[in-house]
Amino acid sequence: MSYALAVVADAAERLPAAQALADKLQLPCLGCLDPVEVSESAYVLQRGERLQLCATGRKAPGPVCVDFVGGALAHRRRYGGGKGQQVAKAVGLRGGFYPRVVDATAGLGRDAFVLASLGCEVHMLERNPVVRALLRDGLERLQRASLEDTELAAIAMRLTLEEREVSAGEWLAEQAAESVPVVYLDPMFPERGKSARVKKEMAAFHQLVGGDEDADALLEPAFAACYYRTVVKRPRLAPFLADKKPTLSLEGKSGRFDIYTKHGVPG
């Protein structure tokens, strides 16, 4: 039998955790297997020291995981430009003003972590249960690392994940009008076949998760819920979300931030 996705463990002692995850996600558990040896499924969630989404087979690209402690995000936390980063400018962060942000399409949590590391409280929403499992695992490892690192401890306190299985549109519609300082949207944009800049492992991730085809429907409830602004991250040449022109845009080499303002942020 073949499956789109299954769960494996990297060692016998992690098999109970792998089985529990499989039960929660209603996926088959294939036991202790290396992803390169799996033939029943195109992708597996591997339960190891970290939870990883892996393509299977011997020529598969590398795994995808959420790492808030090391790797690229650790480098960006130390050397990424601080409050001068475009994402910080887009949400209105400045000295003495650190708005609470709801990242309604959190994905792998990279921008959410950057904003939390700069001082914002960030609540992440992610409707895809597999991606949410990766986020939860990343947060748990961040919290363990924070026990020995005061800087990480402060970030961990500011970064939370919505545990309910709820779509961003539903969650935003539940909020009182103008109750969220900043709503941040970074909907998954369908990849173009010519996009050489997308790493192979991320291309595999996009293939499994798919694009947010209902992204246009998020702008209205996001803007209703926000107090200061709604920020939409887009590829540089992508159309405006819901074809609605923003108040202003911050453009970079490959992407841009479209900003829909409501009330002005403190000067």
Binding residues for S-adenosyl-L-methionine: 110-111, 126-127, 186
Assess contact for 113 and 68: CB atoms under 8 A.
yes
Q: From CA 70, how far away is CA 258, in angstroms rounded?
A: 30
Question: What stretches of 112-179 adopt beta strand conformation (E)?
Answer: 122-124, 159-161
Name the burial class of residue 143, with classes exposed (0-12), middle (13-18) and buried (19+) by CB atoms within 10 angstroms of its CB. Answer: middle
Binding residues: 110-111, 126-127, 186
Nearest Cα neighbor of 135 from 115, 170, 157, 105 is 105
Element (H, E) at 184: strand 180-185
How far is residue 28's CA from residue 157's CA, in Å, rounded to a whole number? 34
Q: Is 96 exposed, middle or buried (0-12, 13-18, 19+ CB in 10 A)?
A: exposed
CB 260 within 8 A of CB 223: yes
For residues 31 and 136, what is the distance between their CA atoms, to the nearest angstrom?
22
Taking the mean position of all CA atoms in its chain, how far away is CA 261? 23
Start-to-end Cα distance in the chain: 61
